Amino acid sequence: METPSTIGKYQIQGVLGQGGMGIVYRAFDPAIHRPVAIKTIVKSALDPADLQYALTRFRHEAQAVGRLTHPRITAIYDYGEDMEIAYIVMELVNGQSLFHHMQNQARFELKEIGEMVRQLLDGLGYAHSLGVVHRDIKPSNILINDDGRLKLTDFGIARIDSSTLTQVGEIMGSPGYMSPEQFLGTEIDARSDIYSVGVIAYELLAGRRPFTGNNAEVMRQALSERPVNPSEFNPKISVQLDWAGQKALAKQPSERFQTAKEFSDAFVKGIEASIRVSRRDPAATTLADEPTQRIDPKLLQAARMLAGLQQAKADAPTEPRMPASSQAPASSGSPASAEASAAPPASAATAAQTSAKKARILFVDDEERILTALRSVFRMHYHVFTATNGPEALEFVKKFQPHVVVSDQRMPEMTGVELLRRVKEIAPATVRLLLTGYSDLAAIVGSVNDGEVFRFVSKPWDNQKLQKTIGDAATIALELAETAATPPILPEKLDAGVLVIEPTRETFGAVKRFVGGTCPVYHAPDFDGAIAQLDAHETALIIADVAHRGDEPLAAFKVLKRERPEILVIVLTEASDSELVIELINQAQIFRFINKPVSPDLLKQHTQAALTRYQSFKQNPHLTHQHKVAAAAAESSVGDRILARVKALKSWF
C-alpha cells in the first residue's frame, strides 16, 4: 500500500512502524497545528473471517483510552473509518518502546528501573480507578520519550467494566506476560495487570523473564512453579525487592498487591534498599518480542486440567516438609566497620556445612551499618537476608521460612521481642536470637517468655563468638527442618512431675493446687535436695526461686541443661541483674522467667506451657536440640560438684 498524503483531515509526514494488520504514520493536524501518530488497520490485509473481530477490538481501544487522560497513558484524539482503513489518531511519542531498548541490550540502573516501574504503575492505577484493565502489559506496549518519560499504549484488548468484548473463557494476551487467571480463562481484574508489571520488573532486574520456553511451558510454569528470586541473576537486588517481585507474581490474585499503588510503594522501597549494593551487572540475554495472540483453546483446556490437579494435590494430606531454599543478597548500607573484616573461623564454617543445604538467616536491624557488617561476616557460609523493620521481616518469614532469625530490640515500628514472638507463631521451627546494645531487663525477660530466644547477643559483638553462636543455631535449625514434628498429645495424667525448689512451700502449694491430679508435684529446699528428687522421680519441669543463692543457680542449671536438655526450668527472681539473666538464657536455656511477687495466673500459664513442651520432647526427642548449650571450657567449683551428681542421675527420657 502506498503512503497516502492525507488520512481524513490529517497530513501524513512519514511511516513510524508497520505490523501485520496495518501501519503507524507520523502526521500533522493542520487545524490545531499538532503533530500526531495515526495507527491504521488496512482492511484488505486481513482475512474476512478476522476483519470484524479486529475492527471491534480497534474501536474498543479508542473507547477505552478515549476516557483516560493521564500523563503516563498515550492519549487518543480521534477515530475514523472508510472503505479501506480504520484509524486511531493518537499522541505522538518521540521515543522508542521499552522492548526496543531491551532488545538493544540497554542496561538500566536500579534507580531508572524503579522510576520506570513507578511511572507504569502510576498510569495503570489511574486506568484501574476508572474501571479499565489493560490485560496486555508488555515491553513493546510501553513507550519511552526521549526525555525519559514513560507512556503506556495499545489498549486493544483492554477490559472496561461495561464491556462485553472479551468474555470470561476467552484467552487473549502475550503468553510471557500473562497472569495465571488469563491462562485459565477466568475472571480478569486489575491484579492481572499487576502480575504483568511484575514480569516486566523481573525482566528488567534479572535480564530474563521469570518463566521461559514455548507457550505450553510458560503456561505450566506460570500455573505451578514459583520463579527463582531475581537476586539469583542480579546480586545487586535486596531481599526487599525480591519480596516485592514475588508478591506481584503470586499465583492467586488475592495474594498479590491489591492495587498498583501498593506495588509501586513496595517496589520503590526495594529499589532504594538495593541501590546501596554495588556488584556486577546481570549477564546479557537475547530478547524476542511477545506478540499478542489468541491462545490455542487446547492450552486453555490443559491449563484447567493442570489447575485441577494442583488443587487436588493441595487438598490431599501431606507430610510436613522443609520449604524450598531461596537465596537473595542482603541489603547493604554504608561500608562495614572493622568488626566485619575477620573471616569466619573453621568451626563456624563446619557448623554451617553440616547439611548439604545452606541455612537461611534473616538479620533484622534498622541500622544499615549493622546489616552490612553482619552480611559481610556471614554471606560466605549462609544464605543471608536482611530486613530493616519488623513488618518487612514478618512478610519475609511467611514467604521464605528462614532457619534462623536474628533481631535487634530497639526498632521504630516493632520491638525485637514482639517480632520474635510473632516469628515463633508463624514459623515455630526457627531458631531465634535477640541482638541488642543495651541491658533492658524487661526486654531480656520478654525475649525468653514471648520469643523463646536461643541466645541473647550483646552489641558490640565479638566476631568469633557470634559466628560460633550462629553456627550452632544454623545446625540446630537445619536438623529441626529436616525432621517432621508431631503435635504433642497430652494424656489425662503425666508420669513426669514438677519439682519446686524454694526454701518455703508457698510456690509449691500454689502449683499443687492448679496442677491438681495432672502430674505429681515435688519439693526441695535447695539444689542438693533437688538432685535427690531428680534421681528418684521423672521430672518435666523445675520451678526454682533463685533469690539470694549466688552463683549456684547458674552453675546448676547450666550443667543440668547440658546433661538433661529435656528438663525445662522456670526461674522465679527478684533480681534486677540483667547480666545474670543473660547468662541464664545463653548458658542454661531457661524456659521462662517470672518476677516476684509471683502472679498465680502467669505461673499457671507458664507451667502448662512447659508440660506441653515436655510432652512434645518425649514424642519428638530431636526437638531438644533447640535447647542445646555449649560445653564449658572449665566449670566452677560449684559446677564441678553438681556435674558429677547430674551425670550419675537415672535417665527417665
Q: For the chain, first and last CA: distance in Å?
A: 89
Residue 522 CA, distance from chain mean position: 47
Cα(519)–Cα(524) distance, rounded to whole angstroms? 17
CA-based torsion, 487, 491, 496, 501: positive or negative: positive
Cell numbers standing for residue 314: 493441595
Residues in the chain: 653
Cα(239)–Cα(229) distance, rounded to whole angstroms? 9
Cβ distance 455 to 590 under 8 Å? Answer: no
Enumerate residues 6+ apart whose C-beta is below 8 A from 313.
none
Question: Is 136 one of the catalytic residues?
Answer: yes
Burial environment of residue 595 by CB neighbours within 10 A (0 to 12, 13 to 18, 19 or more): middle
Residue closest to 578 by CA, chosen among 362, 431, 409: 409
Secondary structure (H, E, C), 55-118: HHHHHHHHHHHHCCCCCCECCEEEEEECCCEEEEEEECCCEEEHHHHHHCCCCCCHHHHHHHHH
- Looking at 108-257, list the stretches that DSSP marks H as alpha helix, in order from N- to C-terminal side: 110-129, 180-184, 190-206, 215-224, 239-248
Residue recorded with cell 549494593: 277
Cβ distance 152 to 72 under 8 Å? Answer: yes
Cβ distance 601 to 608 under 8 Å? Answer: no
State the catalytic residue, choosing from 47, 78, 122, 136: 136
Q: Please report, as a single letter, which amino acid is at residue 311.
A: Q
Cβ distance 229 to 327 under 8 Å? Answer: yes
User: How many Cβ atoms sit within 10 Å of the Cβ of residue 7?
Assistant: 18
Residue closest to 160 by CA, chosen among 62, 295, 306: 62
Cβ distance 240 to 269 under 8 Å? Answer: yes
Cα(520)–Cα(369) distance, rounded to whole angstroms? 52
The dihedrals phi and psi of 143, each to the nearest 5 degrees, come to -100, 140
Burial environment of residue 610 by CB neighbours within 10 A (0 to 12, 13 to 18, 19 or more): buried
The residues carrying an active-site annotation are 136
